[in-house]
Amino acid sequence: MATWFFTTFTASDLKRKVHNLRGVQFLFTKINPDQIDVPQFVQEYDIKINGPRYVVPEPTSQDDL
């Protein structure tokens, strides 16, 4: 809610850049885990809420490489 309010009324240019994700594993499908430091307590909470393997990565084709 706070993110929506902030991006709608104060920084509308940022609104298209803000993405909500349902879990840390969804973040790792967009950003390499080596490029971001996610605190251990956040990862533990994510596993507690979503389970250890809740994201099935989409197969990449040779055309994407």
The candidate with the shortest Cα–Cα distance to 17, out of 28, 3, 32, is 3
Banded pLDDT at 57 (limits 50, 70, 90): low
19/17 Cα distance (integer angstroms): 6
Number of independent structural domains in the chain: 1
Mean pLDDT of 31-58: 85
The candidate with the shortest Cα–Cα distance to 24, out of 42, 48, 41, is 42
- Global confidence as pTM: 0.55
Per the domain annotation, does 23 fall within a domain?
yes
What is the extent of the structural domain holding 49?
Answer: 19-55
Per the domain annotation, does 42 fall within a domain?
yes
Tell me phi and psi for residue 61, to 5 degrees: -90, 165
42/47 Cα distance (integer angstroms): 9
Indicate if the pLDDT at residue 29 is higher than 90: no
Per the domain annotation, does 39 fall within a domain?
yes
